[in-house]
Amino acid sequence: MASRPDFVRASAVLDVLPTLAQNWWVFLVRGLVAIAFGLVGLFWPEATLVAFILFYGMFALIDGVFAVVSAVRGRGATGPRWWLAFIGGLGICAGLATYFWPGITALALLIVIGVWALIYGFLEIFGAIRLRKEIDNEWLLITHGALAMLFGIVVLARPGAGALALVWLIGSFAVLSGFLLLAFAFTLRRYARAA
């Protein structure tokens, strides 16, 4: 009797993996958007912080939409997808906040970004741990989540840091994040081909 819940739990995770693998391209698009966003920050740091934060809002919005799409497309699976939908919802909220309240100071927007990165990272690590027995290279998602949490902590600890340093920090995070998402997308693609 004690083994039944483990079997049921493992079965639920197995139902999620094929859905993620089928939608591997969503992680690919998220990675490419993150890299493009990061490169803009690294190669055009003279852009004002507010303009860069608005661009970040667009990135968070697009990333959030793709995460929600990925969660919704797996609606037939019985496994947990709430964490992916929640991450997407947070991204959409963070993105919309930058556009609906443009009068908010850059400091307030940075706090929103920092909190979003912390929650996003935690939930991504949680999701990766749930999938760790079913996929290879789950460390990519765990590393991506840890990187997001580290980014959130740095932004929250030093929100008043110089604009140029902050632009480079955000740009570097986005590029690293994008490469990790690309690597995970190709891992899912290999799984989809093998299945």
2-5: long-range contacts at Cβ-Cβ below 8 A with a sequence spacing of 24 or more?
none
Does residue 12 belong to any structural domain of this protein?
A: no
Does residue 1 belong to any structural domain of this protein?
A: no
- In this structure, are residues 34 and 191 in contact, taking their beta carbons and an 8 Å threshold? no
Does residue 116 belong to any structural domain of this protein?
A: yes
Q: How many domains does the chain have?
A: 1
Residues of the chain with pLDDT > 90, as a percent, come to 12
The CATH number of residue 98's host domain is: 1.25.40
Q: Each residue of 107-156: pLDDT tens digit?
A: 777 787 788 889 989 988 988 888 777 777 788 889 989 999 998 898 88
How does residue 99 score in pLDDT terms, banded at 50, 70 and 90? confident
**Domain carrying residue 135:** 19-194
Does residue 93 belong to any structural domain of this protein?
A: yes
Q: How far is Cα 55 from Cα 62, in angstroms, rounded to an integer?
A: 11
Checking phi first, is residue 137 left (phi over 0); if not, alpha (psi -120 to 50) or beta?
A: left
Does residue 2 belong to any structural domain of this protein?
A: no
